[in-house]
Structure 1
Amino acid sequence: MSTSPSSAVAAAETDGPSSAPIRIGALVPLSRPGWVEAGRHVLAGLELAVREVDEAGGIAGRPLELLVRDTAADPQRAERAVDELAGLGVVALAGEYHSVVARAVAARADALGLPYLCTSAVLDALTEQPTPWVARLCPAQSHSWRVYADFLLGAGHRRIAVATQPSVYWAAGIRILRECLAAHGGTVTELDTGALSPAAVCEGLVWRRATALLLLAGSPEPSVPIVRAVRGDGRLAGVLIGAPAGQPEFAQWAALLGGDGAGVPFLRYLPERLGPPGARVGAALRERLGEAPSFVAFEGYDTVTVLAEVLRSHGTDRAGIAAAWPHVAVEGSRGRIRFSRAPGGAVWQWAWPPVQVVDRDPAAPGRFRVLHGGR
């Protein structure tokens, strides 16, 4: 079906009888330098939920249709995609994994008056000013990374080093960790991966007598070579390697590192045990992906679940969708989802999804162990 942008917008914002699809714009990183594996999992969750909605009769007889755009982790490319999708008549935007990209999407959606449900980007400052148009499913970074800091402190770690790259996201994470650890006499030292080789990172750990190294950097580069170097350095046998951003969640990590990639704690946004709805969704995602689904795939699924419920209860008018955020109460794959706005908060937030600190079991790297939990 070929539809002009103007007629598409009219159709999308009209609640009258129609068999035309209800369009949702999906923004995901599907090419480098984006985290392609994460983008693929987000998209699998989005697509599975759309298929289930359509098989159940759609929204008042109208099917959902995803219009997918690859952001490639590029904020400017994402902004152009938002403009294009708005012109094509989408009633809402969904998705994105990279925080700096999601922030650009949120700003543009706010300017256009287009509802945006952020799937997987945790940066607290998703928008500069409060907006009624943006809601978020994943936890804010200040919440989940404090859970991770609690785990470190509980495990006796006070001298922390971070292997980092320049990024608003990584810088925010360092601030959170530093504040949490400083309150208990801990320290956080930065090791710049742009200036230091993996061998030099090892030397820095020895010199600073760090008990833990956190990978606040991309994967596979430079994180994988750093893990190999640390694991191969006998002086650092007792050093914990951690990755709060979740690099070890994905199959590529295990494929590249094998046993060296086990025992690296990371943040995962799943309950310790999935209920019947989550177990069913997990099985369907596994079939769709051909591998174990990450928590990111569940986030994608829950995003469409929320939007479908809003469309059923509040219609397809964009302003009506945005007004519905505080009234959402829907059972997702990981628990009941409701949105609220904390004092000073700029977006509507599910507070909170389940948060775990997990690692791959050294005895069986394909199996995950829950080390610490929070909410």
Structure 2
Amino acid sequence: MAALAGEYHSVVARAAADRADALGLPFLRSSAVLDALTEQPTERVARLPPPQSRGRRVYADFLLSAGHRRITVAAQPSVYWAAGTRVLRDHLAPRGATVVELDMGAFTPTAVCDELVDQRATALLLLVGHPEPAVSIVRSVRRDQRLAEVMIGAPAGQPEVTEWATSLGDDSAGVPFLRYLPARLSPLGARVETERRETLGEAPSFVAFEGYDTVAVLADVLRSHGVDRARTAASWPRVAVEGTRGQIRFSRTPGIGVWQWASAPVQVVDRDPAEPDRFRILHAG
């Protein structure tokens, strides 16, 4: 094996990255956002998406700009969810906002509604799995007339997937989430979007563009430097590839132990309540 690419989930990918690093195997990460992707800094791992700390700060700025100061987080126990909650709290608290966390191992969707009323929360953030318990929580909150003004958010991107809209119907709209697309795709990105739309019968998600960019970068590296693992790992700082979302280059970012595409785009978007199949850009950072 010359290199490894992609992953299933940030937590799984972190375990895979440590193993790949120990084996001297170059690893290009397409979607994992955990800041601490490896136990120790490494030259062998590179990443396309922005680190979780950057994305969650952008989301926190969106919340503040929308006037939210009383925020409740419904979270499942996980390194991934805990890290996201910590970033939100650290960014929001100094700016006068409160963040209350509900352990979803102890709360039913109905109990979440009662807590939102008691806390006078204006925003509920879902740091939970999809479809459950995310779908049940959304349904309960949407049907509770006491919470008509509460915004539901899902920073990790659950509303992006088609199954979200299928499961929730009209309730799927108006739930802001993070996605990693620019305001305008590159010419390559526009072509890829057209091709994928024809193949899939619907617009591709931002994850599809991450996947395409991963293949484009890795193919360029292997063409230029061959299949030697050491040469591949040494080439990350010299990458200059035109991707679907802009030119991709890797650099070192303070606090991040892998090679990072520092200019990866970040947006906060939601499904338009008037047309749930259409996404609205609410904020960018």
On whether the aligned pair clears a TM of 0.5, the verdict is yes
In the other structure, the counterpart of 2:241 is 330
Q: Distance in 2 between matches of 1:258 and 1:343?
A: 42
Pick the aligned partner of 1:340 from 248, 251, 259.
251
In the other structure, the counterpart of 2:183 is 272
In the other structure, the counterpart of 2:129 is 218
Q: Distance in 2 between matches of 1:193 and 1:365?
A: 27
| Percent identity between the two aligned chains | 74
In the other structure, the counterpart of 1:140 is 51
> Which aligned pairs between 1:148-297 and structure 2 lie closer than 5 A?
148-297=59-208
Q: Secondary structure at the match of 1:368?
A: strand
Q: Distance in 2 between matches of 1:123 and 1:185?
A: 26
In the other structure, the counterpart of 1:110 is 21
Contact in 1 for aligned 2:272/2:280 (Cα 8 Å): yes
After superposition, give the CA deviation of every residue in 1:210-256 in whole Å (9 maximum; x if it has no partner).
00000000000000000000000000000000000000001000000
List runs of 5+ in structure 1 lacking aligned partners: 1-89
Paired letter, 1:232? R
In the other structure, the counterpart of 2:9 is 98
Q: Distance in 2 between matches of 1:220 and 1:281?
A: 28
Paired letter, 1:177? L
Contact in 1 for aligned 2:186/2:243 (Cα 8 Å): no
Alpha-carbon deviation of 1:291? 2.5
Pick the aligned partner of 1:302 from 169, 191, 213.
213
Contact in 2 for aligned 1:97/1:119 (Cα 8 Å): no
> Which aligned pairs between 1:13-32 and structure 2 lie closer than 5 A?
none
Contact in 2 for aligned 1:214/1:241 (Cα 8 Å): yes
Contact in 2 for aligned 1:159/1:212 (Cα 8 Å): yes
List runs of 5+ in structure 2 lacking aligned partners: none
TM-score normalised to the size of structure 2? 0.98
Q: Distance in 2 between matches of 1:296 and 1:351?
A: 18
After superposition, give the CA deviation of every residue in 1:258-296 in whole Å (9 maximum; x if it has no partner).
110100000010011223211111122223333321100
Contact in 1 for aligned 2:237/2:251 (Cα 8 Å): yes
Alpha-carbon deviation of 1:192? 1.6
CA RMSD, Structure 1 to Structure 2 (Å)? 0.9
Paired letter, 1:101? V
Paired letter, 1:105? A
Alpha-carbon deviation of 1:119? 0.7
Give the total of aligned pairs. Answer: 285
After superposition, give the CA deviation of every residue in 1:149-172 in whole Å (9 maximum; x if it has no partner).
000000000110011100001000
